[in-house]
């Protein structure tokens, strides 16, 4: 019999669903958040050959690259995306740029069906590299929703091991 996938809820065999999540910026959940791209990293492969064995290539790990994270938010009155984007590039010029505050640590929480945090990641020193304030508009479409997007560059992420699997879900 295979080992259970979940240590606390041994009868649970299905993975967590991806539609219940939250992102915390400055400790507050982002309102109207509808989508987030994956946390992804890749490590470059460095090829080398030894002088004593030039016919065989060896592989070493090189630098690690973290992919940008894109957040999508339905149009709301919550100004968190715009305010953060303005810290990096302000219409009033470089004098308004905040070198102190434009990088932020954010938290990404995966929630179970009951809304309890089951997995949490910390993303380090994120900053806004792209901001879309308004989507394309189409007066002929009655079924689309207005979306803002924020693309974040960052310096890595780490799972918060203090978040434990809830007793019940």
- Phi and psi at 57, nearest 5°, equal -90, 145
pLDDT value at 96 more than 90: no
The Cα 65–Cα 40 span in angstroms is 9
Q: Using CA atoms, how far apart are residues 123 and 156, in angstroms rounded to an integer? A: 6
In this predicted structure, the answer to whether residue 7 has a pLDDT above a threshold of 60 is no
Rounded Cα distance, 77 and 63, in Å: 40
pLDDT of residue 140: 85
Q: How far apart are CA 70 and CA 37, in angstroms?
A: 5
Asked if residue 152 lies in contact with residue 126, where contact means CB atoms within 8 angstroms, the answer is yes
Q: How far apart are CA 15 and CA 33, in angstroms?
A: 22
Range 99-123 average pLDDT: 89
Nearest-angstrom CA–CA distance, 126 and 9: 34
pLDDT value at residue 74: 86
Q: What average pLDDT is seen over the chain?
A: 84
Helices (H), the chain: 80-88
Instruction: For residue 81, report the phi and psi dihedrals to the nearest 5 degrees.
Output: -65, -50
Structure confidence at residue 31 (pLDDT): 82
Q: How confident is the model at residue 19 (pLDDT cuts 50, 70, 90)?
A: confident
């Amino acid at each position: 019999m295979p080992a259970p996938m979940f240590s606390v809820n041994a009868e649970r065999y299905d993975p967590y669903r991806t539609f219940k999540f939250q992102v915390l910026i400055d400790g507050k959940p982002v309102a109207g958040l509808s989508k987030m791209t994956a946390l992804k990293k890749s490590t470059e492969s460095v090829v080398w050959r030894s002088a004593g064995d030039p016919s065989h290539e060896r592989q070493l790990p090189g630098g690690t690259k973290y992919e940008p994270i894109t957040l999508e938010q339905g149009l709301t009155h919550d100004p968190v995306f715009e305010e953060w984007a303005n810290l990096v590039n302000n219409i009033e010029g470089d004098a308004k740029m905040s070198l102190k505050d434009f990088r932020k640590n954010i938290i990404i929480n995966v929630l179970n069906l009951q809304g309890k945090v089951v997995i949490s990641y910390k993303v380090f020193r994120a900053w806004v590299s792209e901001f879309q304030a308004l989507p394309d508009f189409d007066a002929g479409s009655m079924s689309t929703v207005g979306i803002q997007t924020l693309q974040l560059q960052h310096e890595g992420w780490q799972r918060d091991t203090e978040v434990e699997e809830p007793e019940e879900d």
